[in-house]
Structure 1
Amino acid sequence: MNKLTQTARDHALPDWVCCSVPDLWLRKAAPVAALCVLALVTSLVLRFAFDAPPSTYQIPLWVALVLGGGPFLYDLLRKLLKGEFGSDLLGGISVVTAVLLGEYLAGAIIVLMLSGGEALERYALRSASSVLSALAKRMPSIAHRRRPGGIVDVELAEIAVGDTLVIYPHDICPVDGVVIEGHGLMDESYLTGEPFQITKTTGSGVISGAVNGESALTVRTTHLAADSRYAKIMTVMRESESQRPHLRRLGDRLGAIYTPIALALALLAWAVSGDALRFLAVLVIATPCPLLIAIPIAIIGSISLCARRAIIVKSPVALEQIAGCRTAIFDKTGTLTYGEPNLTGQSVAADFDRKDVLTLAASLERYSKHPLARAILAAATDEGIQLPEAIDVREQPGQGLGGTVADHAVLITSRTKMIAHRTAGADQLPTVTNGLECVVVIDGRYAATFQFRDAPRKESRSFVNHLGPKHQFQRVMIVSGDRESEVKYLAEQIGIAEIYAEQNPEQKLSIVRAATVKANTLYVGDGINDAPAMMAATVGMAIGQNSDVTAEAAAVVVMDNSLEKVDEFMHISRRMRTIALQSAIGGMALSALGMVLAATGHLSPVNGAVAQEVIDVLAVLNALRAAFAPKVIHDL
């Protein structure tokens, strides 16, 4: 079996998915709630429709208590032995007390209240498929290796560096390598986040995970499958997922205050009156279902509202966490910019023709995955230029793109690299400008400098400027894989002072981890190279749908390419928190009034359970407001 696939299959849900309630109970909450409803209805029918004796109509209640309350009490006991308790402790004590006092109807109603709340919570907290599965399912299990006797299928683990592989049309490239035969297109959007196809020919590099086009390619492997770029990103993501911080939920924080007070009042009522039923009655109406039900419903309602606003919330805890984020970290291309650089200037050396230079450069750029390649190709297309074929294409990291076009040796590189190689004609280089540029060298002589601009989104500056005053962000930075000159140019335009340029995924991850240690972080990006950093941040947001893997890694996915939607999510989160607190605290206040009545003997356990259900309905109705959009949903 493919090692990467096995890793994903073995990978369990991360620890942060777990919440305060017992794990076994979480898994059984929904069927337990259904069982309790059936038991209650059956018991009431037997009692009032058939006038059955208690020994008969209490049987369904016993079934609900044993099969429904049993697992809850077992897991609660395990947590208590570890010194852990939350808002579910009162419910557990109430169930035990109801059984001891023979109040089986009250006990079954309590189990129904608890299980119904936990079923809703389980639904709200279940995230979509794991990131590792999204990565691993992209990898083929076999590769087609060419040998003198023909082509044989082999497992990825059997591939060695230097092997010759054939990548059939529409196959996924299994390892990193270099094309030695063939000419075609490859879709690398899963790796780069750029939704475009890249031409491949002899000498072009290929990356594991890329999808081949219509033509077969023969490649020579340069890395083992386990050492390929795709596998490394997967390893980094697995590591960052394991270090995701655990969230102490809002309901538990309130329950830590509420639970001791309710328990003390119940004991006091028992001690003063000498009636154990008062103890049970107080605990029944004190059962914190507004905490267990209203808060998840407010979360679910907010998730629904987000979905209608083209915002997909994959991890509901992000709705709680984003309000506490104080550091905002952005990728550049496709996040703060539109991701579509334009060729804005061509400074051509005296002894070269501008159109000839553009023709040669565009012919070579057909084989590049860099965003600037599209800008050069677009400029050539606009001028109706017919592009000759390029051969011997090579692109070494940090050296630029080289090849032969129409018998001319063409190199597209940076100003720094050209000067370092003492290229002839370097004295004609234009003055350095802000933004991004590339230098064209033809037959060993400086030929031209191309200038580019990747326009910032129209809302980028106003969005960045309002993060502090409106959302209490104290630090804003850009962490980008792009060149420093381009990142600086953008940062000046939109008002960000702290930048980190030319960062690979591992470096991005390190920066985000360091920032998250100091304060909760929001990371916004759009490509697979952002995925590890997204997972390491407190809240990761993906803009657009350029990469399925990025969408899996992000806690929140903005389907529209708009920072306005990021702001909307912040406002929905803030409103959800307000509504959840109203529902929880309001419900607890009403429960407190009910506890006083129960403590003074004015409410029986069953009446207390009914009163608690009324309180639950009021809390839920208020929580449902989170699903409806307010008049103002952003402040840009």
Structure 2
Amino acid sequence: MQQKERSDRLKTLLLGISVIGLFLGLAAHLAQRPELAAALWTAGTLPVLAALLIEILRCLARGEVGLDIVAALSMSAALLFGETLAAAIVAVMYSGGTFLEGFAEGRARREMRDLLSRVPRTASRYGKGGLEEIPLKRIAPGDRLLIRQGDVVPVDGQIASAVAFVDTSALTGESMPVRLSQGDEALSGSTNAGEAFDLIAERDASRSTYAGIVRLVEEAQRSKAPMSRLADRWSLGFLAITVALALAAWWLSGDPIRAVAVLVVATPCPLILAVPVALVAGLSRAAHFGVLVKGAGPLEAMARIRTLILDKTGTLTDGRPQIVSIESRNGMAQDEILRFAASLDQASKHPVAQALVAAAKARGLSLAMPLRVTEHAGEGLSGSIEGHDVTVGGDGFVANHASDVATRPDVAPGSVTVAVAVDGRMVGNLVMSDPLRDDAAEMLRTLRSQGIDRILLATGDREDVARHIARGLGLDGIHAGLTPEGKVQLVQVESRNGPVMMVGDGVNDAPALAACNVGVAMGARGAAASAEAADVVLLVDLVERIAIGIAVARGARTIALQSVVAGIGLSVLGMIAAATGYLLPVQGALVQEAIDIVVILNALRALGISPQLASVSSNAK
């Protein structure tokens, strides 16, 4: 991060030096001080040229050849043959282009600090004198730890209490909290969603599940192939044409100034400037729709995506338990069943209880004050509502408080059934699940129409749950029960067939998001880890914006290519004019400036890209 910031500051400094040198030189020239003007133009050019030569050497050491060589040749030749004004103009154009490119790349650059900050720093351990707060590195296998309500489990271990209730959605994709009994394993990175419980540590913190995910993300980011700049893909051919034409002009005319003029006109500013301008404009346009793209490279890569991998929880599904049906017993109205259950559940912090309360309030139901509430962690609650004895929870728990518990209804895989009893009589069942998003099917159809060849589901959830959710969506593959490592391996396999995009929102998705060509995080409600590891963050909780982001990316890349083709075509014409003696170096630099203006104006059209998608709403963020 610091290295990137230093690089950005250097680009800004070089642009400032070149601009100041150009205008001070022009002032000296107008004041009839040609020697001073030449010195100022040279002084404004040399720092840019020196930085450029260093960058060229670094690229050559990596086996890369870019268009920067043409810019270095034009500045060097202009200075060598006394065409200092032409050199200064080229220096301003080049430093301006690199500044814009750096701005595009650094627009939304962030580190993994949020992922690392989520890792607990301390833990409560039972010692001889009672509980003590210790750093994670001091936890040893066999230590007994206290995990309070809301705490993130610091290390992998076995449940030592009778029961524990943990939220593993960030790790496994399981949308519903999980009930664990004594002896069951709890994974680090999961969250205690119930009462406090004791944990016997099985591993130290550095070898636990969550620490392994952090390492996976870092390794994936290091191994991810760098994205080549669009401009560099044209570099070798254009460089060969430029050098050949410059040498031919010099050899045929005997005048080295013609070669200088060719090189100045050939300075690839239509590529250096137009491409980042179009992509920066695309970044701005995508952000208008709530799609934050972290730089020009990811935006360009989005335009070439052919395979899409989707996580289930929070991506295809809403990620929060919702009521899908209410089954009434003994004649009680459905809303009344929900009102009794939600009134009692106001006393619980259980995620399912909170979901019931939210559902009741959404229906406009008036909730009563719960009295004499007794909660059995992971089982249910009992208490008094408006003078009635009410029990809410699992079938077994409610059966102990009701005389006529009915048979549990058949529910879809992944659903949770909440039984409700009033005054000792079973009154109904609330069936809850994490439903498919309303816009998921339409989004997938739109992506197909945009040229996405393969759409896969990758989830840590059970296979029966995954297949139930994906039913009717026409996916090309379903991969269930995946660990974070498994998701990375899936990305690597699919990458052999072309660029891959993955969409996810949990901590378990972060390594795969970092490993693929373009990682997309559901940032509105997703885990901070996935947002940090991803290249693209959806700022609004609308999965349809994936299709919008791809449409904007393709539009921006098309406009960038148009600018490149037009700019290169005009530059070649200018090079021919310079080679035949119709353009002097300074005139060539001015012609190149005019070409730059044309292609930049065309590139700015990306600010007005309007995706022609039915799902684009007028209230786009």
**2: CA distance, partners of 1:476 / 1:500:** 11
**Following TM superposition, by how much is the alpha carbon of 1:455 offset from its aligned partner in structure 2, in angstroms?**
2.9
**2: CA distance, partners of 1:62 / 1:190:** 58
What SS does the aligned partner of 2:228 have? coil
Deviations 1:380-410 (A, max 9, x none): 998978795455x5xxxxxxx679999x9x9
**2: CA distance, partners of 1:412 / 1:102:** 91
**Following TM superposition, by how much is the alpha carbon of 1:587 offset from its aligned partner in structure 2, in angstroms?**
1.0
1:594: which partner in 2? 574
- Contact preservation (8 Å) 1:467, 1:473: yes
- Contact preservation (8 Å) 2:170, 2:508: no
Match of 2:499 among 515, 520, 544: 520
1:480: which partner in 2? 459
1:204-215 alignment to 2 at 5 Å? Answer: 208=188
Q: CA, structure 1 residues 81+629, in 2 after alignment: closer, same or farther (shift >3 Å)?
A: closer
**1: CA distance, partners of 2:63 / 2:474:** 49
What SS does the aligned partner of 1:518 have? coil
2:92: which partner in 1? 112
**1: CA distance, partners of 2:382 / 2:178:** 18
1:46: which partner in 2? 28
2:447: which partner in 1? 467
Letter in 2 for 1:517: R
- 1:337 is aligned to 2:324: no
Letter in 2 for 1:31: L
Deviations 1:339-388 (A, max 9, x none): 234344688999xxx99xx98xx98x96876xx67667778998978795
What SS does the aligned partner of 1:98 have? helix
1:539-618 alignment to 2 at 5 Å? Answer: 539-546=518-525, 547-618=527-598
- Contact preservation (8 Å) 2:293, 2:536: yes
**2: CA distance, partners of 1:35 / 1:292:** 19
- Contact preservation (8 Å) 2:415, 2:434: no
Q: CA, structure 1 residues 479+379, in 2 after alignment: closer, same or farther (shift >3 Å)?
A: same
Comparing 587-596 and 147-156, the one that deviates more: 147-156
1:160-175 alignment to 2 at 5 Å? Answer: 160-165=140-145, 174-175=154-155
**Following TM superposition, by how much is the alpha carbon of 1:456 offset from its aligned partner in structure 2, in angstroms?**
2.1
Q: CA, structure 1 residues 347+504, in 2 after alignment: closer, same or farther (shift >3 Å)?
A: farther
What SS does the aligned partner of 2:469 have? helix
**1: CA distance, partners of 2:463 / 2:193:** 33
**1: CA distance, partners of 2:285 / 2:429:** 49
Q: CA, structure 1 residues 402+125, in 2 after alignment: closer, same or farther (shift >3 Å)?
A: same
Deviations 1:7-41 (A, max 9, x none): xxxx988xxx9xxxxx9987632211110111112
1:155-554 alignment to 2 at 5 Å? Answer: 155-165=135-145, 174-176=154-156, 208=188, 221-344=201-324, 389-391=374-376, 434-437=412-415, 452-468=432-448, 470-546=449-525, 547-554=527-534
Letter in 1 for 2:317: T
Q: CA, structure 1 residues 309+440, in 2 after alignment: closer, same or farther (shift >3 Å)?
A: closer
**Following TM superposition, by how much is the alpha carbon of 1:225 offset from its aligned partner in structure 2, in angstroms?**
1.2
Q: CA, structure 1 residues 540+124, in 2 after alignment: closer, same or farther (shift >3 Å)?
A: same
CA RMSD in angstroms, aligned pairs only: 4.6
Q: CA, structure 1 residues 501+188, in 2 after alignment: closer, same or farther (shift >3 Å)?
A: closer
**Following TM superposition, by how much is the alpha carbon of 1:478 offset from its aligned partner in structure 2, in angstroms?**
1.1
Letter in 2 for 1:95: M
Comparing 287-296 and 246-255, the one that deviates more: 246-255
**Following TM superposition, by how much is the alpha carbon of 1:93 offset from its aligned partner in structure 2, in angstroms?**
0.9
1:421: which partner in 2? none
Deviations 1:70-98 (A, max 9, x none): 12123324434665321111111112211
What SS does the aligned partner of 1:477 have? strand
- Contact preservation (8 Å) 2:172, 2:459: no
What SS does the aligned partner of 1:478 have? strand
Q: CA, structure 1 residues 298+240, in 2 after alignment: closer, same or farther (shift >3 Å)?
A: same
**Following TM superposition, by how much is the alpha carbon of 1:275 offset from its aligned partner in structure 2, in angstroms?**
0.6
**2: CA distance, partners of 1:503 / 1:77:** 44
**2: CA distance, partners of 1:510 / 1:141:** 30
**Following TM superposition, by how much is the alpha carbon of 1:208 offset from its aligned partner in structure 2, in angstroms?**
4.8
- Contact preservation (8 Å) 1:198, 1:367: no
TM-score by length of 2: 0.79
- Contact preservation (8 Å) 1:402, 1:412: no
1:35: which partner in 2? 17
Q: CA, structure 1 residues 450+509, in 2 after alignment: closer, same or farther (shift >3 Å)?
A: farther
Q: CA, structure 1 residues 179+257, in 2 after alignment: closer, same or farther (shift >3 Å)?
A: same
What SS does the aligned partner of 1:312 have? strand
**Following TM superposition, by how much is the alpha carbon of 1:115 offset from its aligned partner in structure 2, in angstroms?**
1.1
Comparing 278-287 and 543-552, the one that deviates more: 543-552
What SS does the aligned partner of 2:530 have? helix
Comparing 286-295 and 170-179, the one that deviates more: 170-179
Unaligned runs of 5+ in 1: 1-10, 18-22, 394-400, 414-426, 442-447
Q: CA, structure 1 residues 128+480, in 2 after alignment: closer, same or farther (shift >3 Å)?
A: same
**2: CA distance, partners of 1:226 / 1:132:** 17
Q: CA, structure 1 residues 336+177, in 2 after alignment: closer, same or farther (shift >3 Å)?
A: same
**Following TM superposition, by how much is the alpha carbon of 1:102 offset from its aligned partner in structure 2, in angstroms?**
1.6
**2: CA distance, partners of 1:602 / 1:306:** 44
**Following TM superposition, by how much is the alpha carbon of 1:276 offset from its aligned partner in structure 2, in angstroms?**
0.4
Letter in 2 for 1:592: V
Deviations 1:98-135 (A, max 9, x none): 12212122112212211110111111112645553332
Q: CA, structure 1 residues 449+257, in 2 after alignment: closer, same or farther (shift >3 Å)?
A: farther
Letter in 1 for 2:590: V
Comparing 450-459 and 98-107, the one that deviates more: 450-459
Q: CA, structure 1 residues 412+97, in 2 after alignment: closer, same or farther (shift >3 Å)?
A: farther
What SS does the aligned partner of 1:328 have? strand
Letter in 2 for 1:527: G
Deviations 1:402-434 (A, max 9, x none): 79999x9x9889xxxxxxxxxxxxx9776x664
How many residues align structurally?
A: 582
Deviations 1:565-610 (A, max 9, x none): 1111111011101110111111111111111111111111111111
Q: CA, structure 1 residues 80+219, in 2 after alignment: closer, same or farther (shift >3 Å)?
A: closer
- Contact preservation (8 Å) 1:436, 1:453: yes
**1: CA distance, partners of 2:510 / 2:521:** 9
What SS does the aligned partner of 2:141 have? coil
**1: CA distance, partners of 2:181 / 2:171:** 19
Letter in 1 for 2:443: F
What SS does the aligned partner of 1:99 have? helix
Identity %: 33
**1: CA distance, partners of 2:562 / 2:71:** 22
Q: CA, structure 1 residues 603+479, in 2 after alignment: closer, same or farther (shift >3 Å)?
A: same
**2: CA distance, partners of 1:129 / 1:169:** 34
**1: CA distance, partners of 2:194 / 2:381:** 24
Deviations 1:144-166 (A, max 9, x none): 54533466554322221333556
1:444: which partner in 2? none
- Contact preservation (8 Å) 1:182, 1:218: no
Unaligned runs of 5+ in 2: 384-390, 397-405, 420-427, 617-621
Letter in 1 for 2:581: G
- Contact preservation (8 Å) 1:131, 1:549: no
**Following TM superposition, by how much is the alpha carbon of 1:438 offset from its aligned partner in structure 2, in angstroms?**
5.2
